[in-house]
Amino acid sequence: MKTKIVLLGPPGSGKGTQGEMLSQELGFVRLSTGDMLREAARNGAPLGLKAKEYMDRGALVPNDLIINLMKEKIKSLGEGTGVIFDGFPRTVEQANALGEQVNIDLALNLDVEDSELLNRLTKRRSCPKCNAVYHLDYNPPKKKNVCDKCGSELYHRDDDKEETVLNRLKVYRENTKPLIEYYEGKGTLKTVIGVGSIDEIYGEVKKTVL
């Protein structure tokens, strides 16, 4: 089984949802840089406040900040721990830094077209406490605006508003999409079409890990 997994794919492609399902089922740790940065920003930590300036515009946080943050996280994991990297790496520089520390055995690329991504993100609602995500039409919470898992009030991320989403997609194409070729060159890339029901996609995702 693959135990060091990178999730690739544009914002809204389902990395968080599928990564969380995998980590639950396999007992792997899911490391989401986006979740970490948002939490740091909510707590008023210096790193979070700095990162927020970039996140609010849909820009990438500078490589050195992210690389240092992840270096520490990775060091704190046990040798044999299964890990799912969600939202990291997002640049070739980050991928090189990750490669120095961890032997990635699967880069799973979730492929979804832009029109679908825009719909998903503008109608996404997120839980600030447990990071669960919902979609107003496809995957609504049982009670309006309340997280099924922890009961917190859901919110619409600032960077999920249309104008910022369009910038995030541009940033993805320019900086992160080249990682598809990068991991293809290493022989670890697998692509799953990220369209269909969450369970259908998960079925395909699981096949790539086993």
Catalog residues that contact ligand AMP under the rule CB under 6 A: 11, 33-34, 37, 54-55, 58-61, 66, 87-88, 90, 94, 159, 168
Q: Of all residues in this chain, which one has the CB nearest to ligand AMP in the complex?
A: 34
Q: How many residues does the chain have?
A: 210
Q: Are strands 133-135 and 124-126 parallel, antiparallel or unpaired?
A: antiparallel
- To the nearest whole angstrom, how small is the minimum distance from the Cβ of residue 196 to ligand AMP? 21
- To the nearest whole angstrom, how small is the minimum distance from the Cβ of residue 210 to ligand AMP? 25
C-alpha 131/C-alpha 19 separation (Å) is: 12
- To the nearest whole angstrom, how small is the minimum distance from the Cβ of residue 75 to ligand AMP? 17
User: Alpha-carbon torsion 81, 31, 192, 180, what sign?
Assistant: negative
Which of the following is catalytic: 90, 120, 125, 190? 90
Our CB check for ligand AMP shows the closer of 174 and 207 to be: 174
Residue 15 a catalytic site member: yes
Reference 127, options 147, 142, 144; nearest CA is: 147
C-alpha 83/C-alpha 143 separation (Å) is: 32
Our CB check for ligand AMP shows the closer of 11 and 14 to be: 11
Our CB check for ligand AMP shows the closer of 14 and 87 to be: 87
Cβ-based neighbour number of residue 196 at 10 Å: 12
Which of the following is catalytic: 2, 4, 15, 190? 15
Residue 38 a catalytic site member: no
C-alpha 131/C-alpha 108 separation (Å) is: 21
Tell me if residue 91 falls in helix, strand or coil.
Answer: coil
Residue 30 a catalytic site member: no
Residue 168 a catalytic site member: yes
Residue 125 a catalytic site member: no
> Which residues are the active-site residues?
15, 90, 124, 157, 168
